[in-house]
Structure 1
Amino acid sequence: MTFSIVAHSPRETAWGVAVASRYLAVGAMVPAAGPDVGALATQAHTNMAHRERGLALLGAGETAERTLAALLADDPGRRRRQIGVVDRAGESAAWTGPECTGHAGHRSGAGYALQGNLLTGPEVLDAMQSAWTDSGDVPLRRRLLNALAAGDQAGGDRRGRQSAALLVVGAGRAIGEGTHVQVDLRVDDAHAPVTELARLLDLNDDLIGTA
């Protein structure tokens, strides 16, 4: 029901998640990220407990691979899950359970993991991966949005569109004092949620210095 990308920018010391789905308020369920910790996405019959436990494992110094293995080991529903993880060093890991509804799959590489289920086809993941690798000179928040938009334009969720979200944490710019959250935007119910997310990010970037 969802496609997402989890990634790290060593240049910005930042981690983030972008996600879209034909499901209400996907941003309340899938993404999790912590500064100097890492980020993850949990989706496909979503086990929301993976967010807190995954960040705790990453915060304790576990790698993405070991964090993913620990989450799956304790999850009786793992055959229906998807998880993408990036750790504090930018190493990545991803899982697509064999019972995820097709088209389902994932891609991962240095600094990113992207995953999707109920997709129109593998071209969604291919487009997201190309957009990510081709936009290395832009800020993480924009790079994540570029990848999400590419997946959306390639077909996205085969059932249609409803919600999208973008979460970025790290050093530097923040949405307010006392936080390391750089972006935390959600479109919970819209005809074109990724387009609306892009509009909100433009507003976020305009206002970030005055919040």
Structure 2
Amino acid sequence: MTFSIVARVGDAYGVAVASKFLAVGAVVPGARSGVGAVATQSFARVAYIDELLERLKAGDDAEAAIAATTAADEGRDERQLGLVGPSSAATYTGANCLPWCGGVARDSGTAAYAIQGNILTGPDVVAEMERAWLASEGEPFARRLLAALGAGDAAGGDARGRQSAALYAVQPGAGYDSSGVLVDLRVDDHADPVREVGRLLGEWEMVFGHAEDVLPLEGDLADEVRGRLARLGHPNDDVAAALADWAGIVNYESRLSPEGIDGRVLEALRAATPN
């Protein structure tokens, strides 16, 4: 009833998951900076999240951690897991998981992933997720997770349909107030939850991201930005001050730069003030 990717790139760990199940993000994903990430699904045992992460923290590799925790679980034949640690990755599908079910796991050293699903339309769901993950090398970590999830959804995903999706990732120093949360998004009940997570990721990047592709506020661009901000109720000869006022209202403060205007903020400003 669920498909997911658990992954690591450098010191970032994360999970992307979708299911024909209400609020899958409340059940399946878990991650801890410096330790690992896990997805527990198919009659999910939520306690696996802490148990598996603690075993990784204690030094077990992913396969050993899964073997030890499932051995003590009478319901192991119905469970499915993906687990990635600092130097290992593993996927587990119980003998009684509902078809199509299965997964794949790889660790290349600098990156690792475990992709798995159950009640899928077929094995191409997992295969397409793996293909998309590998093809997105070099892109931002959260975007790679989303690309894999989207590929699985496009390939058929959960055979019963769509309902919820989630994206959760951690990285030291990332996120709001350097909390270590790179991204934390849930769509609990939606006709197209993977697409909606993608839309929300774009909003997350605007609010919690940092300045990029900065353009100097000079000449014609400064005049354009000053005019557009005035139309939004922020008239000020000091264009940087006007920009800061507007950014504070729309929560783009983290993208402000003393060097000029962030490229995505400029796009948002233009969208808010169509010609």
Q: TM-score range by the shorter chain?
A: over 0.9
Query: In the alignment, what sits opposite 2:23?
Result: 25
Counterparts of 1:28 and 1:2 in 2: how far apart (Å)?
13
Runs of 4+ aligned residues of structure 1 deviating over 6 Å after TM superposition are none
- Structure 1 counterpart of 2:194, one-letter code: V
Matches within 5 A, 1:20-169: 20-89=18-87, 91-110=88-107, 111-169=112-170
Query: In the alignment, what sits opposite 1:199?
Result: 199
Counterparts of 1:56 and 1:25 in 2: how far apart (Å)?
25
Point out where structure 1 has 5 or more consecutive residues left out of the alignment: none
Larger RCO, structures 1/2 (Cα 8 Å, 6+ apart): 1
Contact 2:2 2:118 in 1 (8 A): yes
**Number of residue pairs aligned between Structure 1 and Structure 2:** 207
Contact 2:173 2:179 in 1 (8 A): no
Counterparts of 2:47 and 2:150 in 1: how far apart (Å)?
28
Deviation at 1:173, TM superposition (A): 2.4
Counterparts of 1:136 and 1:63 in 2: how far apart (Å)?
24
Deviation at 1:162, TM superposition (A): 0.2
Per-residue CA distance 1:160-194 (angstroms, 9 max, x = gap): 000000000012421x2262111010000000000
Counterparts of 2:137 and 2:100 in 1: how far apart (Å)?
28
TM-score using structure 2 length: 0.73
Contact 2:6 2:16 in 1 (8 A): yes
Query: In the alignment, what sits opposite 1:181?
Result: 181
Percent sequence identity over aligned pairs:
50
Per-residue CA distance 1:70-97 (angstroms, 9 max, x = gap): 11111111111000100023x1011111
Contact 2:5 2:148 in 1 (8 A): yes
Q: Which has the higher strand share?
A: 1
SS for the counterpart of 2:148 is helix
Q: Which has the higher helix share?
A: 2
Counterparts of 2:23 and 2:113 in 1: how far apart (Å)?
23
- Structure 2 counterpart of 1:48, one-letter code: V
SS for the counterpart of 2:198 is helix
Counterparts of 1:172 and 1:198 in 2: how far apart (Å)?
23
- Structure 2 counterpart of 1:143, one-letter code: R
